């Protein structure tokens, strides 16, 4: 694995340009390294209704308005953390959500966090699982992934061909709608490696139904 951290300039671009270029890169925290196989881009305020920054800066999303290359960790559904990498110059509020990857180092450490019977392909298959496998939480919000510290993003190496495919060739990158969002549902800013078993399944947002016993 190439140990060279990505330069900050890599992230100083629109998130939908950064996102596909992140595929194949390696996110490292402590003993665990994950090669990225699926990501989603979220745009700056006023441009992307699905982004946390759409309505402007808040205490929760402040890191997204910081320098590019920093990590934005947020809590969701009252039980999960998700990790993002900030894009664009400081003050513009954009990021890429890291959705899935292949654990390429520290498999046993990742399994200790995720559970002893979890299959290798599922260790970091989905944004919450990936964050658990890497041992990331709220306390890591705002860390710099470009300074060579304990949390860093590396160049990495190309992933292996999918099962049943033989030959040296670049993996195919696909693009499509983002998963589980209720607005801007057709924006094709989810990017993934075709045929890679660690990519999470696409799920369209399903509105919650009000209980029939709640009264009127």
C-alpha pair distances (Å), 53 with each of 42, 111, 113, 213: 9, 34, 31, 35
pLDDT of residue 216: 28
Residue 203 confidence (pLDDT)? 81
Q: Please say whether the beta carbons of 69 and 20 come within 8 A.
A: no
- What's the pLDDT score for residue 211? 40
* Residue with tokens 């441009």, as numbered in its chain: 47
CB-side exposure of 105: number of CA atoms within 13 Å? 14
Dist CA 24 CA 11 (whole Å) = 15
Are 82 and 76 within 8 A, CB to CB?
A: yes
pLDDT for res 207? 61
User: Which helix (DSSP H) or strand (DSSP E) does residue 51 occupy?
Assistant: none
Query: What is the predicted pLDDT for the residue at 169?
Result: 65
Delineate the domains of the chain, giving CATH numbers in brackets: 8-156 (3.10.300.10)
List the Cα angle 180/114/18 in 5-degree steps. 45
Contact between 158 and 102 (Cβ < 8 Å) = no
- For residue 204, the model assigns a pLDDT of 80
pLDDT at 1: 59
Write out residues in the chain with pLDDT < 70, as ranges. Answer: 1-2, 157-169, 205-216
pLDDT of residue 102: 97
pLDDT tens-digit readout, 54-78: 999 999 999 999 999 999 999 987 7
Question: What pLDDT sits at residue 167?
Answer: 55
- Residue 163's pLDDT is 55
């Amino acid at each position: 694995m190439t140990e060279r951290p990505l330069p900050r300039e890599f992230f100083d671009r629109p998130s939908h340009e950064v996102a596909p270029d992140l595929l194949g890169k390696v996110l490292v925290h402590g003993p665990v390294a994950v090669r990225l196989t699926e990501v989603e881009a979220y745009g700056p305020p006023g441009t992307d209704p699905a982004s946390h920054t759409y309505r402007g800066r808040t205490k929760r999303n402040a890191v997204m308005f910081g320098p590019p290359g920093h990590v934005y960790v947020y809590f969701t559904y009252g039980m999960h953390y998700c990790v993002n990498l900030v894009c664009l110059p400081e003050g513009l509020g954009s990021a890429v959500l890291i959705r899935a990857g292949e654990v390429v180092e520290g498999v046993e450490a990742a399994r200790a966090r995720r559970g002893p019977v979890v299959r290798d392909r599922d260790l970091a298959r989905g944004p919450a699982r990936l964050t658990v496998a890497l041992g990331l939480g709220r306390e890591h919000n705002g860390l710099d992934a470009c300074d060579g510290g304990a949390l860093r993003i590396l160049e990495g190496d190309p992933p292996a061909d999918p099962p049943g495919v033989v030959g040296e060739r670049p993996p195919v990158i696909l693009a499509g709608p983002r998963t589980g969002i209720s607005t801007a549902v057709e924006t094709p800013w989810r990017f993934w490696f075709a045929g890679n078993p660690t990519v999470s399944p696409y799920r369209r947002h399903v509105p919650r139904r009000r209980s029939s016993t709640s009264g009127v």
